[in-house]
Amino acid sequence: MPAVDPITMQVVRYGLEQIADEMGYTIMRTARSTVIKEVLDFSCTLADARGRTIAQAHHVPMLLGSLDITTQRLLDHFSGGSERLEEGDVVISNDPYLGGQHVMDMQVFAPVFEEGTLIGLVGNIAHQVDMGGMAPGGVAGGMTEIFQEGIRFPMIKFHRRGVENPEVVRMIATNVRIPEVTLGDMRSQVSAASVGVRRFKEIYRKHGPATFQSAIEALLDYSEERIRQGLRQIPDGTYAGEDFVDDDGIGDEPLRVAVTIRKAGGGIAVDFEGTSPQARGNINCPIASTYAAVYYVVIALSDPHVPPNAGAFRPVEFRIPEGTVVNPRPPAGVTARTNTTAKIVEAMIRALAQAVPDRVVSGSHAQSTTCGFVGYHPRTGRRFSFTDIEVGGAPARPYRDGRDGQDSHLARFMNTPIEAAEMEFPILVERFQFRPDSGGAGLYRGGLAVQRDIRLLADASFARYADRHKFAPWGVAGGKDGAVGEFVLNPGREGEQRIRSKGLSELRAGDVVSLRLPGAGGFGDPLKRDPEAAARDVREGKVSREAARRDYGVVLKADMTVDELDTQHLRRRIGPWKSPGAAFS
């Protein structure tokens, strides 16, 4: 195989990444559901003929390594039996035990052939608003088996030689509540795969087989070496960390995610011994999601700008005991797995903070508040399904405040704009604001969470899963913890009640659900924060006047400016804040 120069390798790299991004834009522009076209809960990938990831779109980091597992299993499935991949085929799979995430995430793959030879695969994954199952909307916590979560597809040809399979279409239409939306979104994914196949062939033909393959091998080696170089900058040693999922949606006991990281030279091993056994509720995390969470942290702390491909994954070794919440045995439920994947990230950051304290962040909201409202629209009489993902506080950094009201780490989701939601669904958003004092105090403040109050204009089921309602986002290096989240039904009215973070409820028209998200921890001693920054937060409604005095030792005048003399006296009297229970404060 001829050597390829670095410039050609980079030209091929960026060409492949552009293909993945173009596939993503195709999905965004043609999808039917708001969870895809507004929340952007999808991603795209390209693989070589051996199933190795060679490029990924710049969308959802949670999918790092996930599609890589499924492409390998897809090739295994279609190589040993009578059924083979052919030009024009489109394969679907959503089985979490075959490399998928959860049943709602449909994966779509298409082979790329050149003169009868398989040269690669293109794929994408997107969240469907309904895949059947016991819970309308599919996102309810508390389900005990994967059979309750929806219909599973192993490796099924949705298209054969370019023709849609009507039997598969009928099967889907019969098993989902709003078939025109689910099938519309799946056809959007197929369109994106078609774009990917066409563009893949173009770049392959442009460079020729020899140069293209050499560039791929060089690109994978390049990513591997960049990660190894980054890991060499982290001190060798053994580091341990942990975090907790509030509960599994059925019982009230917390579940532990424990990691032991062994870093040596340009390699890293992650051991999950000590993690809780798999849960009865569906917060279990399938192996693909566990891989993705680990890859995310390794890349973020070693070289966040590396091309995320199969080469970047080579320096990482795993020990993931089977039968735990991070590697469950079937038929364990996994729909609410994001509650657990986020805790893997948090536990790894806590562990590596012992090695690189200047490169980590505080605790984040560390969950995905995923809600599904399903009912019948009073105007049209047709069924609707509104799936939305709400965001909390982003972590404080060693040099800057956390971002307010933004998703963090694995998902990077948007939320549905109020105008788009109210135009399409029978809801009214009565409140959408930052939660004052929800960001942990610190030299750098944790990001504020949001509060979103939704009034239903029709009877509807309310499926949801979330977390961080019991265990607060932790502060770092003397920073204070952020606020926990809570869900309140009909706040300020007769019958007001706090409801569980995971579950399925039946609501009536006129009910209001107040979604109050968790914040994020602070970074550094709050008494070292610039008093002017604290005063600005008070003026902007992000921090209360009382919290400014209590947490930051900042005294404000009547005009909301800093009383410098009283602030100096108060800070000397309070003394330095010590974060209780922080392992590396």
Half-sphere exposure of 379 (CA within 13 A, CB side): 8
Q: Residue holding tokens 């309750």?
A: 148
Cα angle value 467/471/473 (rounded, 5°): 90
- SS3 assignment, position 97: helix
How many angstroms separate the Cα of 135 from the Cα of each of 25, 180, 229, 388, 431? 30, 18, 47, 15, 27
- Under 8 Å between Cβ of 135 and 103: no
CB 311 within 8 Å of CB 257: no
For every one of its 585 residues, what pLDDT tens digit does the chain have, with 9 covering 90 and above? Answer: 678 999 999 999 999 999 999 999 999 999 999 999 999 899 999 999 999 999 998 877 776 566 778 898 999 999 877 789 999 999 999 999 999 999 999 999 999 999 999 999 999 999 999 999 999 888 999 999 999 999 999 999 999 999 999 999 999 999 999 999 999 999 999 999 999 999 999 999 999 999 999 999 999 999 999 999 999 999 999 999 999 999 999 999 999 999 999 999 999 999 999 999 999 999 999 999 999 999 999 999 999 999 999 999 999 999 999 999 999 999 999 999 999 999 999 999 999 999 999 999 999 999 989 999 999 999 999 999 999 999 899 999 999 999 999 887 887 788 889 999 999 999 999 999 999 999 999 999 999 999 999 999 999 999 999 999 999 999 999 999 999 999 999 999 998 999 999 999 999 999 999 999 999 999 999 999 999 999 999 999 999 999 999 999 999 999 999 999 999 999 999 886 554 444 443
**Pairing between β-strand 503-507 and β-strand 53-56 as defined by DSSP bridges:** unpaired
Confidence (pLDDT) at 62: 72
For the sheet with 237-245, list strands across it.
237-245, 255-264, 267-271, 316-319
* C-alpha–C-alpha distance, residues 196 and 248, integer Å: 39
CA–CA separation, 215 and 112 (whole Å): 18
pLDDT attached to residue 66: 67
DSSP state string for 266-277:
TEEEEE-TTPPB
The 10 Å CB-count burial string (b at 16+, else e) for 213-224 is bbbbbbbbebbb
For residue 81, how many other CB atoms are within 10 A of its CB? Answer: 8
Query: Nearest 5°: CA angle at 147, between 143 and 149?
Result: 50
Are 46 and 8 within 8 A, CB to CB?
Answer: no
483-486's contacts with Cβ under 8 Å and 24+ in sequence apart are 483/435, 483/437, 483/438, 483/439, 483/440, 483/449, 483/518, 483/519, 484/518, 485/365, 485/367, 485/369, 485/392, 485/449, 485/516, 485/517, 485/518, 486/516
Q: In the chain, where are the structural domains located?
A: 6-225, 361-526, 531-574
pLDDT at 582: 43
What Rg value do the Cα atoms of the chain yield, rounded? 24
Instruction: Report the candidate in 168, 104, 172, 105 with the shortest Cα–Cα distance to residue 136.
Output: 104
The torsion angles phi and psi of 207, rounded to 5 degrees, stand at -95, -20
In angstroms, the CA 350 to CA 242 distance is: 7
Q: What pLDDT shows up at residue 64?
A: 59
Report the distance separating Cα 180 and Cα 157, nearest Å. Answer: 20
How high is the pLDDT of residue 63?
65
> Residue 109 CA to chain centroid, in angstroms?
21
**Residues 89, 174, 333: CA angle, nearest 5 degrees:** 85
- Three-state SS for 363? coil
Report pLDDT for 183: 98
For the record, the structure tokens of 104 come out as 């709602």
pTM score > 0.85 for this model? yes
